[in-house]
Structure 1
Amino acid sequence: MLTGLALICVDALVPGGSWWWVGAAAGLGTFTHSLGDSLTRSGSPLWWPLRIRGCRWRSVGSPRAIRFTTGGMGERVAVALLFLAGAGCAYALAM
């Protein structure tokens, strides 16, 4: 039901019925989620099908100095900064 309501709202807001940006938003969301996972101490298998040092399932992460554990203070700070950035973007788009 919620998905149908969202589609009705998008259909009313998007002039000309152009839906290309839905796929772009989904792809960008998936990409940023994977990058966010790579910021944790566990890392993320970003290059999964490729072999890295003989392994196909190797976690790739950010530099160790900026990694954080999930549920810790580092994640809270990152979420707060991303929230502020998103609120700023929403405000800029509304103007």
Structure 2
Amino acid sequence: MSDCCLHLLCPLAVEERVVDLLLALGESGVFTSAPTHAHGFAHGRLNAAEQVSGRSRASLIHLVLPAREVDGLLAELSRELPHSGVRYWVTEVQRQGELA
């Protein structure tokens, strides 16, 4: 079975909760997170400063996991963080490893 990269775009208000959940599940292994800006959200979801700049501050989390585990992890995150504004997408990992 192939590996996938799950990308989670998290509003800053729930970033720590998402990280805590991923660490608690333990199955996630190594993952990364970085500050980013999100574009394209409806103005109702942006504060006044974000509406002027056209972007909102967010965190982008990337984790590589077996494709068979993606749906279960997304289900768990959905149970724990309903209506949180977390967006996701999944990409296939062509190759991964650690430099020796």
User: What TM-score range do you get, normalising by the shorter chain?
Assistant: under 0.3
TM-score by length of 1: 0.23
TM-score by length of 2: 0.23
Between structures 1 and 2, the one with greater strand share: 2
Larger radius of gyration: 1
- Bigger RCO of structures 1 and 2 (CA < 8 A, at least 6 apart): 2
Between structures 1 and 2, the one with greater helix share: 1
